[in-house]
Amino acid sequence: MYELNEEKDPAVLGPFELLAVLGQGGMGRTYLGRRLPLENLGPELEAGYHLTAFEASAQPALAAVKVIRPSKLRDSSEHSEEEARARFAQEIETMRTVASARVPALLGADTEAEQPWLAMDYVHGPTLHKLVHTCGQLAVGPYGALGLALVDALRAIHGAKLLHRDLKPGNIAVGPDGPVVLDFGLAVLSERDSAAALTKTGVGFGTPAYMSLEQARDTKHVTEPSDIYSLGAVLFFAAAKRPPYPLVPMYTAPKWDGVYGPYLPLLGRILVQVAEQRPSLDEIESDLRQLLVDHGLTEEAAADQLRSLVTESGLVPQLPARALSDLPDPEVQQAAQQAVDDGRSPDSPWAPDLFDEFLEAEAQDLEPLNPATDPAPGPAEYVPTVVDPAAHPAPETPAPVPAQPGVTSYPLAPPQPHATPESEVIPALAREAAKRLLKAYAHSGRL
């Protein structure tokens, strides 16, 4: 979490006061914010901002406010800005359709602003990526709690006829109420014949190390089992501190070294490259519950163990003093309210181009709130709702994982179907992965 740059960051976006910077990446910048209690906002602005009902609370309700980088709306494509805004508007609509404690609620958005933004519930906790790289493989309790939470999230997403398509450790935040699945930025309707679907056949989206082969071949026409594969890849990461494959999905079995034996049967069933052979969410839920029972754990005890692991990890970010107050900055509140009273938008006192140049830059140094403990963020392809500053795995830390009975290194091979040869899929994915790594290193100044 980082200080606002008063010269380049606005104090308000829409009706949200900005308190700190959560992170910055290829898609833009994400702020920690809070809704201002403005009077007479008017139905037009309330509708334009897609605002949910404002509820005053004794506890400050914080938001993650995500802003799109201007360069993402302007490139050489004739319809690039129109398509980018359409995609962003679709993100707003998809978020509205999913009601679950495992998905952050939409609080407001403006798809027509010069820098479009959206605000959603802020999840105060680390990403699963950072938690596992810091604390090591998850024991049975936290592992089962994580899996059950992800099943609940995907059930809600799929129940709304949506797909996530980028489920990975960096898109899962572990907050005080357990894991939350983030980023429907490029979710698509599972009704593939819909004219509103923006992803074209053959255009890839997602993270290769956590995607299925069918998604690597054709992102548009994947179905729910592709998300289930990604769920299995995330559970593999939680069990092994690495994805099942280093860069891209393959037909050959993952290396099971170091994976706790009782995790293997379920992982072996999920991580197959034939979509029809993967278990359903109900079957995965049943297996996870049985895993907990076999180890003498209730679901409540497992959730408590995961919560304790996060609390003791030292990874929960320190909130700025302004965020701990239930009152907005008086000057900010007064300026925003005066603008509304004058018939303008609440953020009009802060010029819309105030941070345009800031977002145009490919990389910027951010000033940590606590320089001693909060490192600068690494490069990223886009900014998730809760940003993991480490875009790459953290260095190996002490605290080795204790030996557990049943750990094996035997190959648990999935079925070997006769399908599209991976030689047609892997080279393109490998080139894309190499391109991303080259770009990341170039941005970090290591080349």
175-196 mean pLDDT: 60
**pLDDT tens sequence across 351-404:** 656 555 555 554 445 555 543 344 333 333 333 333 333 333 333 333 333 434
Selection from 306, 386, 392, 325 nearest residue 125 by Cα = 386
Domains of the chain: 12-124+318-360 (3.30.200.20), 128-315+402-444 (1.10.510.10)
CA distance 11 to 124: 21
For 336, the token pair is 């925003």
More confident position, 382 or 184: 184
Q: In this predicted structure, what is the pLDDT of residue 220? A: 72
Q: In this predicted structure, what is the pLDDT of residue 85? A: 76
Confidence of residue 79 (pLDDT cuts 50, 70, 90): low
CA distance 337 to 328: 12
The residues that bridge with 30 in the sheet, in sequence order, are 23, 66
Selection from 179, 243, 250, 247 nearest residue 212 by Cα = 250
Dmax (CA) for the chain in angstroms is 71
Task: Please say whether the dihedral angle defined by the alpha carbons of residues 440, 72, 199 and 117, taken in this order, is positive or negative.
Answer: positive
Q: How many other CB atoms are there within 10 angstroms of residue 197's CB atom?
A: 16
68-93 mean pLDDT: 67
342-347 mean pLDDT: 92
Question: What's the pTM?
Answer: 0.76
**pLDDT tens sequence across 400-442:** 334 343 333 334 444 344 344 444 444 555 555 555 544 444 4
Provide the residue type at 4 as one letter: L
* Statement: residue 238 has pLDDT above 90: yes
Element (H, E) at 19: strand 16-24
74, 82 Cβ separation under 8 angstroms:
no
48-56 mean pLDDT: 71
More confident position, 372 or 208: 208
The residues that bridge with 65 in the sheet, in sequence order, are 31, 119
Selection from 111, 432, 415 nearest residue 272 by Cα = 415
Element (H, E) at 33: strand 28-35
Of 57-61, 109-113, 331-335, where does the model show the most confidence? 331-335
Selection from 134, 122, 242, 237 nearest residue 175 by Cα = 122
Active site annotation includes 287? no
For 436, the token pair is 């991303």
Confidence of residue 28 (pLDDT cuts 50, 70, 90): confident
441, 292 Cβ separation under 8 angstroms:
no
Q: In this predicted structure, what is the pLDDT of residue 397? A: 34
To 5 degrees, how large is the angle CA 442–CA 445–CA 447?
Answer: 60
Confidence of residue 114 (pLDDT cuts 50, 70, 90): confident
**pLDDT tens sequence across 255-300:** 999 999 999 999 999 999 999 999 999 999 999 999 999 999 999 9
Selection from 155, 138, 117 nearest residue 30 by Cα = 117
146-165 mean pLDDT: 92
Of 110, 121, 152, 166, which one is the catalytic site residue? 166
